[in-house]
Chains A and B, each alone.
Chain A
Amino acid sequence: DIQMTQSPSSLSASVGDRVTITCRASQGIRNDLDWYQQKPGTAPKGLIYAASMLPSGVPSRFSGSGSATEFTLTISSLQPEDFATYYCLQHNSYPWTFGQGTKVEIK
């Protein structure tokens, strides 16, 4: 199975900060990686697909980059509604696997 290592596991940041989260895959996965945001008590919501594509309705402050084994999610200017937990998901091969998650908290 492909292992996804996500870092950091948590971070504290202020509104307006630039935030970067990284996922590393144990083997190359091309760009078969998505990012999700989850708030307590709710299902995850898709933020980025195919490593760098933004679905309609997702604010442009979110961006993704990377390919093969290293991927990054960037929030250019953190907003109050962005405090949540973020997960990467590789869908290159079954079973699909998530990163461990990054909890973004208010500083």
Chain B
Amino acid sequence: QVPLVESGGGVVQPGKSLSLSCVASGFSFSGHGMHWVRQAPGKGLECLAFISYDGTKKSYADSVKGRFTISRDNYRKRIYLQMNSLRPEDTAVYYCARGDNGVDVWGRGTTVTVSS
């Protein structure tokens, strides 16, 4: 059983929106902070967004602040990433990750390509 599974990636035009989802299994989802981390082709890792275990605290990287929104549904054991005003530089593999002090569980990632 894979603890974190992302979905929703695909090809989207610049300026459009896309929503990613990550479903958790095998652990107490509502007890953990969760993150979205991305990796552009051939580049390093970037922490994009964090949401606390109860959804009351959120944080964003400057590169996505105001364009991306993280949310969670503890009943459905899911987190989401709403991505608006997408740019070509948002092209990346997007990982869902669990972590309160560092990341201890990673999803396998979903690929987002922003291209006309």
B104 close to A96 (CB less than 8 A): no
A49 close to B101 (CB less than 8 A): yes
Known contacts A1-B62, A43-B109, A96-B50; A91 and B101 CB within 8 A of each other? yes
- What is the number of residues of chain A that contact chain B, defined by CB distance less than 8 Å? 23
Report which of A45, A49, A50, A98 forms a contact with B45, defined as CB distance below 8 A: A98
Known contacts A43-B95, A89-B102; A98 and B46 CB within 8 A of each other? yes
**A 83-107 to B, binary, CB cutoff 8 A, 1 in contact else 0:** 0000101010011111111000000
Instruction: Verify if B85 is at the interface (C-beta below 8 Å from A).
Output: no
Interfacial chain A residues near B59, Cβ < 8 Å: 94-95
| Distance between A21 CB and nearest chain B CB, rounded to angstroms | 13
- Determine the distance from Cα of A99 to Cα of B47 in the docked complex, in whole angstroms: 11
B50 close to A95 (CB less than 8 A): yes
Interfacial chain B residues near A97, Cβ < 8 Å: 47
Give the interface SS of chain B, mostly helix, strand, loop or mixed. Answer: loop
Instruction: Verify if B60 is at the interface (C-beta below 8 Å from A).
Output: yes
Instruction: Verify if A16 is at the interface (C-beta below 8 Å from B).
Output: no
A94 close to B50 (CB less than 8 A): yes
Interfacial chain B residues near A44, Cβ < 8 Å: 45, 103, 106
A96 close to B35 (CB less than 8 A): yes
Report which of A32, A95, A101 forms a contact with B61, defined as CB distance below 8 A: A95
Please name 30 pairs of A and B residues whose Cβ atoms are closer than 8 Å in the assembled complex, sorted by A.
Answer: A1-B62, A32-B102, A34-B102, A36-B45, A36-B103, A43-B106, A43-B108, A43-B109, A44-B45, A44-B106, A45-B106, A46-B102, A46-B103, A49-B102, A50-B101, A87-B44, A87-B45, A89-B45, A89-B102, A89-B103, A91-B101, A94-B59, A95-B50, A95-B62, A96-B35, A97-B47, A98-B45, A99-B44, A100-B44, A101-B45
Interfacial residues, chain A to chain B (CB-CB below 8 A) = 1, 32, 34, 36, 38, 42-46, 49-50, 87, 89, 91, 94-101
Rank and list the top 5 A-B pairs by shortest CB-CB distance, nearest first.
Answer: A94-B59, A34-B102, A43-B106, A96-B47, A101-B44
